[in-house]
Amino acid sequence: MRDEDLCYMPATEALARFRDRSLSPVELMRAVIARAEATEPGLNAITFRHFDEAMDEARKAEGRYARGGRVRPLEGLPVAIKDESFIKGKPTSNGSLILKDHVADHTSPVNDRILRAGAIVHARTATPEFSCAGYCWSRLWGVTRNPWNPAFTPGGSSGGSGAALAAGSATLATGSDIGGSIRIPASMTGTVGYKPPYGRNPEDPPFNLDFYCHNGPMARTVRDTILLQNVMAGPHPGDIASLRPRLRLPMEMRPIKGWKIAFSMDLGLFEVDREVQANTRAALDVFRDLGATVEEVDLGWPSDALDAGLTYLRHIFGAYLGQLLAEHGDEMTDYARAFAEAGLQSRAIDFVQSLEVAGRMYATLGPLLERYDLLICPTTAVPSVPADFNQHGGTVKINGKVVNPMLGWVMTTPFNMLSRCPVLSVPSGRAANGVPTGIQLVGRTYADADVFRAGLAYEAAAGGWFGGPKARPVL
């Protein structure tokens, strides 16, 4: 088998081959590291590299399979961890000059679970500074580029994870999502990303108490996403918001024939690029072919919904970053500094009003999801923006109309506002510039299995992604 095919092998297949001894963790790790070394100068998806240590761990995993018996759920798989969460004794920069020398003194709950499950962290993946942008560049690490077209961003904030998966330099990856930061790069890199409902996966304090905030899995297949989600999920003694009991998702699910699916092209809030619209309609036809009824709906959401989402983010996340301004403001990117400054201007009444808007939004979505099994909409309103785009002073136009440069071109934040809804982003096609597009599968509150059931059926009908050279980026 060619090294490139190893690099794009689904994690579930790799595990099966590890078990039957037709593939070694050492072979897979060697191929993935070689791929990363070959593609990194152009993509800049990886921050810290742990390649030598990863090879040592792969040899240990090889020995465990050779001895037979029980192995752990992710034994020997290369997993890239976003450079935002912590691994004790390892550097974590959050894409910031402020933390360029920071070494973690603890391991984040989900990372601890991933490591205990036998995964091998060979790389940390790039993020914009403090994850506060939908693109992926920082003063510390430079510009991360999209494997499908380097002129464009792979999205953010988990852009390095999406780029690494699309490039074949990771088998699985992690992301975090406070305004769309898993789903945006999943859409723009043609990968799969899952925003679990609030509390499903444990988080570090204080953001475990921020209901917009989620961490979750990213992969190239829906089954691989389930595989990693099953490791990440469950209550944790360090996170009071983490849910009991632990939810385990099955790898095989029933068809969706007979389902009723609602769709909205724009959520009543967005201008949507024509190519995104065309790819979304093609994806909806796949669901119809699967025996589902698909109907367009009007959510009736208030026109100030996006402003309310941004207000909340400024009040919690922006104010948190605002603590850095006095001592470190000159080290920050202009977009992070502007966000922090806005956070310090936020008022309690603004925060309360953002909650009121979210309540009005669910007052229509909740009853709608009693009548429909799922809501589908695009993940982003454009395929991508330039790799060096800057929301601080930058302009985004869609169909000739100027939109909010921070949130007006991504359709993800409403489902952080309605954070108990599980959302799976899956590919819907590619634009003329080569950049992929995606759709969001939005489920009823805490109905994780529903979005994965739909995702598995859709993926099977679509024939999967990254299955051969023509379905992969040319790097």
Q: What is the DSSP string of 20-67?
A: HTSS-HHHHHHHHHHHHHHHHHHH--EEEE-HHHHHHHHHHHHHHHHH
Joined together, the tokens standing for residue 373 give: 């099994």
Of 120, 119, 137, nearest in space to 128 by CA: 137
- Evaluate if residue 414 carries a pLDDT over 80: yes
- Judge whether 81 and 87 are in contact, CB under 8 Å: yes
Residue 69, pLDDT score: 82
- Tell me how far apart the alpha carbons of residues 409 and 383 are, in angstroms, rounded to a whole number: 9
- Over residues 445-459, the mean pLDDT reads 98
pTM over 0.95, yes/no: yes
Residue 419 burial (10 A CB sphere; 0-12, 13-18, 19+): buried
Considering only CA atoms, give the Rg of the chain. Answer: 21
- pLDDT tens per residue, range 12-53: 999 999 999 999 999 999 999 999 999 999 999 999 999 999
- Tell me how far apart the alpha carbons of residues 410 and 154 are, in angstroms, rounded to a whole number: 13
The one-letter code for the residue type at 362 is Y
Helices 348-371, 305-313: inter-axial angle, 10-degree rounding: 130
Q: How many Cα atoms within 13 Å fall on the side-chain side of residue 443?
A: 21
- Judge whether 376 and 269 are in contact, CB under 8 Å: no
Name the residues annotated as catalytic: 82, 157, 181
Return the biggest CA–CA distance within the chain. Answer: 62
Residue 463 burial (10 A CB sphere; 0-12, 13-18, 19+): exposed
Q: pLDDT grade, residue 3 (50/70/90)?
A: confident
Q: pLDDT grade, residue 1 (50/70/90)?
A: confident
Of 264, 196, 189, nearest in space to 225 by CA: 196
- Judge whether 167 and 147 are in contact, CB under 8 Å: yes
Domains of the chain: 3-306+347-471 (3.90.1300.10), 307-345 (no CATH)
